[in-house]
Chain A
C-alpha cells in the first residue's frame, strides 16, 4: 500500500486521527484474516535471537502472537509464532541454521538463528557481488537485499568491508580444514596413500590458494583491507590458524624450536605465493604452482642442509678435541705429578 500523503495546510488534527483510525481498522481486518491463515501455517520467518533478548521475548508472548498474525500473509516478514516464543529459551542450545529466510510455508516453524548467524549469511550472500562491487559496503548492501533485508542492515557491520574480507578468509580456512580432515580420514581408512611432507604441504597450499581464484581480480583490494591497522590482529590470527592447521595435518608433533621454525617457513611460503598469484597470467596459474614447488623444495633443502651442517660441525669439533688431547699427551702436559 502506498503511503497516503496528507497536506499539512488546512487539515484539522481530527482528520489525522481519523486517518490513523482508518489504518488501525485496516490492520485489524488484516489481522483477523491473518489469524485464520496464521493458525493453519505458522509463519516461519526466523527472528534473530540474541542470548539476552531470548528471555525478554517470552514475557511478551501475546504481543508477538498478534504481530505474527498481522504479518503472516505478508511477503517477507513475520513475527514469532506462539510456539516460537515459548521455545525461545531453548534456542540458545538448539539454534539451527535457517534454510530459507523467505520461506513462509515451512511447516517446521521453529527455526532460529542468532545475530551472528544472520550476519554470516548476509556476508555469504554478499560474496556473490564482490566481483561487481569490490570488497565494499555496496556489496554487503546488495547481498542483504538478496536475502530480503533492507540495505540499512549493513549498519550492523561496524568494520564495513573489513568484516566481509575477514569472513571470507575465515570461510576459506574452515573449508581447507575440512578437506584436510577428510583426506586424513581417507588415509586412516587405508583408502589413500599417505603423502610425503613436501607434497602434502604443496597440495594444501595450492588448494587454499585456489579458493581465491573467483575473486582474483579484486584480491589486491582485499589484501590492502587486511593490512589496515585495525584489521591486522584479526588477519594475523587467521593466518596463524591456517598454517597451524596445515602443519598439524601434515603430521608435525614437534615441541621445540622446530614448531616455530616450521610455521614461520610455511607462512613465508604462503604469503609469497599469494603475491605471485596476483600477478600471474599463465593458464590455470601454472607459474604460481611452479613457484610454490620451488619454494617448498628450497625449504626442504634448507632443512636437510641444516642437519648436515650440524652433524658436520659436531664431527669437526670432536676431531679437534681429539687432536688437542693427542698434543697434550705428546708434550707430556697431561701427566699428574
Chain B
C-alpha cells in the first residue's frame, strides 16, 4: 500500500513537467505496440500507463521485461564469448575488482542477482576457498607440530569438505532460465557444485525472505530492470543488517576524449561483433543503448541513498566505463 502511494507521488511529480516520456494511451494497451499518436498523449495522462526506455526506444513498462527476456534468451549461449570479445577480456578484471573490494569473510552468504551465467558466484566461491587455504597455511606455519588429535581431525575434515564449504553459500538468481541453464552447465563443467544454488526470480520481487543474505551483488544487470528503485528496495529487504549491496554497472565515462572513442566503439563495433559472433545485431544494439540510458554515477548513488543504504560509495573502473557502487544496510 505504501509502495503504491509512493508510486503515485512519483507519477504526479513526473507528470507535471511535460516531456516526451509520456505514459501510453489505452490504444497502446490494446494494440501492444509502443508507438502512440501524439494526439492521444494528453488522454494517456489520465489513464496512467507508463512508458519506459528500452534502449533508445520507448516502450510500456510491462513490455520492457518481456523484451529484455527475449534479448537474453537469444544471447544466452554466446553470452560469455561475446563478453570477452566486446570488452577485450577486461570484464574479467572488473569482476575480479568487485571480488577484491568485497573481500568476503568466511561464512558469508552471497546473492547474485541477474547473475545469469554465474561469473560472480563462481569467483566468490573461488576467493573464499583460497582465503581459507591461506588461513590454514598460516596456522600451520605458526603452530607447533600438530598432535595426533589434530592430524586425525584434519583427515576427517577433508571427508566432510563439502559440508564445510557449503557454509559459504552463493545463490544465483536470474529472471531468465536460459542464462541460468548456461551457467549451470558451466559450473558443472568446472566441477563446482557445493554451496551454489540457481534460482529463477525477478529482481523487483525476489523469492526470498527478509534478512537472508550478507552480500547482494548485481553485475551488469540492474540497467535491464524496469523499476530500479524497486530492485533497490528488494535488495534492502533481503539483506541482513550490516549487509552490503554491490553493483557493478556500465556508467558515464569521465574523460571527454575517451568518451568519444567509447561511443564510437560502442555504436560502430559492438553490434557488428554481435552480428558476426552471435548472429544478433538488435540485441547488442539494445545493450549499448541501455548503457547510455542508465543514470550516471552520482545519480545512482543518490538512488541508493534514497532506497535506504548508508555509506554509499563508488569507484570508477577503466576511467568510468564501469563503476562499482557499494552501500550498506545499517
> In this complex, what residue of A is CB-closest to B205?
A20
| Nearest Cβ on chain A to B104's Cβ, whole angstroms | 7
Which residues in chain A, 38-85, are within 8 Å of chain B measured between CB atoms?
Answer: 45, 47-48, 50, 52-53, 56-57, 60, 62-63, 65-66, 70-71, 74, 76-77
A8-B200 contact in complex given A115-B310, A154-B103, A155-B101, C-beta closer than 8 Å: yes
A9 / chain B contacts, CB cutoff of 8 Å: 177, 181
A115 / chain B contacts, CB cutoff of 8 Å: 310-311, 330
Name the residue among B197, B240, B241, B328 with the largest chain A CB count within 10 angstroms.
Answer: B241
Asked if A3 CB lies within 8 Å of chain B CBs, one says: yes
Name the residue among A3, A56, A137, A152 with the largest chain B CB count within 10 angstroms.
Answer: A152
> In this complex, what residue of A is CB-closest to B178?
A8
| Nearest Cβ on chain A to B101's Cβ, whole angstroms | 7
A20-B310 contact in complex given A74-B211, A76-B241, A153-B244, C-beta closer than 8 Å: no
Asked if B305 CB lies within 8 Å of chain A CBs, one says: yes
> In this complex, what residue of A is CB-closest to B179?
A8
Asked if B47 CB lies within 8 Å of chain A CBs, one says: no
Secondary structure at the A interface, as helix, strand, loop or mixed, is helix
Size category, B interface: 35 or more
Which residues in chain B, 288-320, are within 8 Å of chain A measured between CB atoms?
Answer: 305-306, 308, 310-311
The reply to whether A56 and B305 form a contact with Cβ atoms under 8 Å apart is yes
The reply to whether A65 and B212 form a contact with Cβ atoms under 8 Å apart is no
Asked if B202 CB lies within 8 Å of chain A CBs, one says: yes
> In this complex, what residue of A is CB-closest to B1?
A66
The reply to whether B214 and A150 form a contact with Cβ atoms under 8 Å apart is yes
The reply to whether B2 and A8 form a contact with Cβ atoms under 8 Å apart is no
Asked if A16 CB lies within 8 Å of chain B CBs, one says: yes
A27 / chain B contacts, CB cutoff of 8 Å: 210
The reply to whether B199 and A6 form a contact with Cβ atoms under 8 Å apart is yes
The reply to whether B210 and A77 form a contact with Cβ atoms under 8 Å apart is yes
A63-B6 contact in complex given A150-B243, A156-B311, C-beta closer than 8 Å: yes
The reply to whether B2 and A5 form a contact with Cβ atoms under 8 Å apart is no
- Contact among A50, A71, A155 for B326, CB-based, below 8 A: A155
B5 / chain A contacts, CB cutoff of 8 Å: 62
Asked if B108 CB lies within 8 Å of chain A CBs, one says: yes
- Contact among B205, B211, B328 for A77, CB-based, below 8 A: B211
Q: Which residues of A contact B (CB under 8 A)?
A: 1, 3-6, 8-9, 11, 13, 16-17, 19-20, 23-24, 27, 45, 47-48, 50, 52-53, 56-57, 60, 62-63, 65-66, 70-71, 74, 76-77, 115, 118, 137-138, 141, 144, 147-156
A-B contact pairs, 29 of them (CB 8 A): A1-B209, A6-B199, A9-B177, A16-B207, A17-B202, A20-B201, A23-B205, A23-B207, A47-B330, A48-B330, A50-B310, A56-B305, A62-B2, A63-B3, A65-B2, A66-B1, A71-B210, A77-B240, A118-B330, A148-B241, A149-B330, A152-B105, A152-B215, A152-B240, A153-B242, A155-B101, A155-B102, A155-B328, A156-B311
Q: Given contact pairs A63-B3, A76-B211, A115-B311, enumerate 4 new A-B contacts (beta carbons under 8 Å).
A: A57-B308, A152-B240, A155-B103, A155-B326
